[in-house]
């Protein structure tokens, strides 16, 4: 092997990245000298045909560069935490630099989709973000790895992104699942209809419907935009409904009850397709992100993984908790699952191997009622009878924050879709919003319920959330610009995820 053309001299610092244009007529390089250089290449000879054109604008080392498919633009990422797009013809910066205040880590990798409409970026904190290449606004919620992302690439049809990381894994992501959802108009509420406490609420992936489970033994479906009940209640349980979850495609609802049964409902016909009789109260049931699995936890301390199509258990029950299993949550990629129990512990499970992943997360001093993953899967939040909310590092199991302030048991916790906020509901009728990065309370407690708050669910666009309460109502809360708490969905949120 021998060099063809070159060397191309000009950078005053280490060259960190080089890539050819799709048509082979240009070479772009990025350097620790904070510049990008575009070299015109003579076909066949490899000799310079002109240039280089020097692009300046980054305030720190350039780590990655890529051409758009039509060779009209270049995208670059930097240690300065910004993504920039440049016009290849005249070297002008076609879009302003993204705010660096919302991304705590450097950008390590970047690529255009084959149609040029999207850009995928990876960063040193393991986060992957999809961007609209025209507006440079986030096209997706952040997702990713436990450690530095070393490379990202789109499939030719744009349906998937593949990534490689220092965490020793390669992952394939469905861009449709990760895509930023369309905002919907939400009725102000409250939604009234249940005759007993609302123990669980869930929102469909498109944000148009709400499912609720109540101690009145029924499951109900609501029109989120009109605020009205859709059809008649789902009846069949002989005891209070503790949990509901909507399948990702919106065609199924799963419910668990103190009558010891797990039921799968058709959302159109409102009939139970399947029912399973367990030997203990079922406190939690949830679909995996792709809808291929169900998991439920119960009063016997066991967790079961279930095939919702074949309606059969997968493998043996997971049994490491010594008390009731009150809450379950899948990681965004579906590879892990967190469980919370009356034994004061959170356990992380490897879904594929059906085994515990690491040691239990210990720190709470009373029953843990609720657990949730952050949108990127890098953090876990839990709420407990001990009146605290804890945020954990999902990889190391270390406690990142202990959120103190509630004067009552914390019954429910959930991350906002961006990962910026945590919402907690308590037995004291109030809801609190927390800054997930600092652990500080945001604004004043939200009041309106007249009894304990059992469940909280965010709309996919992050602008609203709902709560279900022992007072029989479902209430809607807004996080738009007019409120003291703002869900910043138009900024890079990777550092908070």
Q: How far is Cα 308 from Cα 211, in angstroms, rounded to an integer?
A: 18
Is the per-residue pLDDT at 497 higher than 80? no
Predicted pLDDT at 218:
97
Is the per-residue pLDDT at 227 higher than 90? no
321 or 147, which is more confident: 321
Predicted pLDDT at 482:
35
CA distances (Å), origin 208, targets 175, 184, 232: 21, 7, 17
Q: How far is Cα 188 from Cα 197, in angstroms, rounded to an integer?
A: 20
Is the per-residue pLDDT at 177 higher than 50? yes
pLDDT category, 222, cuts 50, 70, 90?
Answer: very high
Predicted pLDDT at 46:
63
Q: Compute the average pLDDT of residues 441-468.
A: 91
Is the per-residue pLDDT at 188 higher than 90? no
Residue 102 is given by DSSP the state T
Residue 98 is given by DSSP the state P
Percent of the residues in the chain that have a pLDDT greater than 70, as a whole number: 88
Q: Does domain 15-178 have CATH number 2.30.130.10?
A: no
Predicted pLDDT at 409:
95
Residue-by-residue DSSP string for 353-422: TTEE-SS-EE--SS-EEEEEE-TTSSEEEEEETTS-EEEEETTT--EEEEE---SS-EEEEEE-TTSSEE
Can you tell me which residue has the tokens 């109260």? Answer: 281
Is the per-residue pLDDT at 420 higher than 90? no
pTM greater than 0.85: no
**Checking DSSP bridges between strand 228-229 and strand 219-223, what pairing results, if any?**
antiparallel
Mean pLDDT taken over the chain: 87
Instruction: Write down the domain spans for the chain.
Output: 15-178, 191-496
Q: Closest by alpha carbon to 245, among 257, 254, 236?
A: 254
43-52, 213-222, 235-244, 372-381: range with lowest mean pLDDT: 43-52
For 287-307, letters b (16+ CB in 10 Å) and e give: bbbebebbbbbbbbbbbbbbe
Q: How far is Cα 223 from Cα 233, in angstroms, rounded to an integer?
A: 13
Residue 124 is given by DSSP the state T
Q: How far is Cα 456 from Cα 163, in angstroms, rounded to an integer?
A: 32
Percent of the residues in the chain that have a pLDDT greater than 90, as a whole number: 59
Q: Compute the average pLDDT of residues 470-491.
A: 63
38-42, 161-165, 273-277, 292-296: range with lowest mean pLDDT: 38-42
Residue 76, number of CB atoms within 10 A of its CB: 25
Q: Quick check: do 15-178 and 191-496 share a fold?
A: yes
Under 8 Å between Cβ of 262 and 256: yes
* C-alpha 103, offset from chain centre: 16
4-8, 307-311, 339-343, 368-372: range with lowest mean pLDDT: 4-8
Q: How far is Cα 337 from Cα 377, in angstroms, rounded to an integer?
A: 10
Find the angle CA(283)-CA(460)-CA(104) to the nearest 5 degrees: 105
Q: Compute the average pLDDT of residues 436-464.
A: 90
Q: Does domain 191-496 have CATH number 1.10.600.10?
A: no
Which 3 state secondary structure label does DSSP give 261?
strand
Predicted pLDDT at 132:
84
Is the per-residue pLDDT at 486 higher than 80? no
Phi, psi of 488 (to 5 degrees): -85, 75
* C-alpha 121, offset from chain centre: 16
Is the per-residue pLDDT at 98 higher than 80? no
Under 8 Å between Cβ of 410 and 387: yes
pLDDT digits (tens, 9 = 90+) for 312-369: 999 999 999 999 999 999 998 899 999 999 999 999 999 999 999 999 999 999 999 9
Under 8 Å between Cβ of 137 and 130: no
4-8, 68-72, 386-390, 415-419: range with lowest mean pLDDT: 4-8
Q: Compute the average pLDDT of residues 385-403.
A: 95
pLDDT digits (tens, 9 = 90+) for 244-285: 999 998 999 999 999 999 999 999 999 999 999 999 999 999
Can you tell me which residue has the tokens 């949830």? Answer: 286
Predicted pLDDT at 1:
59
Is the per-residue pLDDT at 194 higher than 60? yes
Q: How far is Cα 288 from Cα 428, in angstroms, rounded to an integer?
A: 31
Predicted pLDDT at 90:
55
Which 3 state secondary structure label does DSSP give 28?
strand
Predicted pLDDT at 398:
95
Q: Strand order in 83-87's β-sheet?
A: 62-67, 73-78, 83-87
For 467-492, letters b (16+ CB in 10 Å) and e give: bbbbbbbbbbbebeeeeebebbbebb
Q: Closest by alpha carbon to 121, among 129, 494, 82?
A: 129
pLDDT category, 478, cuts 50, 70, 90?
Answer: confident
Residues 6+ apart with CB under 8 A from 224: 184, 186, 187, 203, 204, 207, 208, 209, 210, 459
Q: How far is Cα 433 from Cα 453, in angstroms, rounded to an integer?
A: 14
Q: Compute the average pLDDT of residues 396-413.
A: 91
Which of the residue ranges 45-49, 166-170, 305-309, 401-405 has the most confident prediction, judged by mean pLDDT? 305-309
22-31, 333-342, 467-476: range with lowest mean pLDDT: 22-31
**Checking DSSP bridges between strand 272-277 and strand 62-67, what pairing results, if any?**
unpaired
Q: Compute the average pLDDT of residues 462-479.
A: 91
């Amino acid at each position: 092997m021998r060099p063809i053309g070159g060397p191309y001299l000009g950078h005053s610092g280490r060259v960190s990245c080089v890539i050819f244009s799709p048509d082979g007529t240009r070479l772009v390089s990025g350097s620790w000298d904070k510049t990008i250089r575009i070299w015109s290449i003579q076909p066949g000879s490899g000799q310079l045909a002109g240039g280089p054109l020097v692009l300046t604008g980054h305030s720190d080392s350039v780590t990655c560069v890529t051409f758009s498919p039509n060779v009209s633009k270049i995208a670059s990422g930097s240690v300065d935490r910004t993504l920039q797009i440049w016009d290849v013809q005249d070297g002008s910066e076609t879009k302003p630099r993204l705010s660096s205040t919302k991304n705590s880590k450097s950008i390590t990798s970047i690529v255009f989709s084959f149609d040029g409409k999207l850009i995928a970026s990876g960063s040193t904190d393991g986060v992957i973000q999809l961007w609209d290449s025209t507006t440079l606004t986030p096209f997706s919620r952040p997702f990713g790895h436990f450690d530095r992302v070393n490379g990202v690439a789109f499939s030719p049809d744009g349906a998937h992104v593949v990534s490689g990381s220092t965490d020793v894994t390669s992952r394939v992501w469905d861009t449709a699942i990760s895509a930023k959802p369309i905002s919907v108009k939400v009725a102000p509420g409250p939604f009234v209809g249940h005759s007993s406490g609302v123990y669980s609420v869930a929102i469909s992936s498109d944000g148009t419907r709400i499912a609720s489970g109540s101690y009145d033994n029924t499951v109900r479906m609501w029109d989120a935009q009109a605020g009205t009940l859709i059809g008649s209640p789902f009846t069949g349980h002989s005891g209070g409904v503790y949990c509901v979850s909507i399948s990702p495609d919106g065609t199924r609802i799963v419910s668990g009850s103190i009558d010891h049964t797990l039921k799968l409902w058709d959302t159109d016909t409102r009939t139970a397709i399947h029912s399973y009789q367990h030997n203990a109260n079922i406190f939690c049931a949830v679909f995996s992100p792709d809808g291929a699995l169900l998991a439920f936890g119960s009063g016997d301390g066991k967790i079961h993984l279930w095939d919702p199509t074949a309606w059969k258990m997968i493998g043996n029950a997971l049994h490491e908790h010594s008390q009731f299993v009150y809450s379950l949550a899948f990681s965004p990629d579906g590879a892990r699952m967190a469980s919370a129990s009356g034994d004061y512990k959170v356990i992380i499970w490897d879904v594929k191997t059906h085994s515990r992943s690491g040691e239990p997360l210990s720190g709470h001093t009373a029953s843990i009622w609720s657990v949730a993953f952050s949108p990127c899967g890098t953090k876990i939040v839990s709420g407990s009878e001990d009146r605290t909310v804890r945020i954990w590092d999902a990889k190391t199991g270390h406690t990142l924050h202990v959120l103190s302030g509630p004067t009552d048991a914390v019954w429910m916790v959930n991350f906002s879709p961006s990962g910026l906020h945590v919402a907690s509901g308590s037995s004291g009728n109030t809801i609190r919003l927390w800054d997930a990065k600092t652990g500080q309370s945001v604004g004043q407690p939200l009041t309106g319920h007249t009894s304990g708050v059992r469940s909280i669910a965010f709309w996919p666009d992050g602008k609203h959330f709902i709560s279900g309460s022992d007072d029989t109502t479902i209430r809607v809360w807004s996080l738009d610009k007019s409120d003291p708490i703002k869900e910043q969905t138009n900024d890079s949120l990777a550092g908070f995820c």
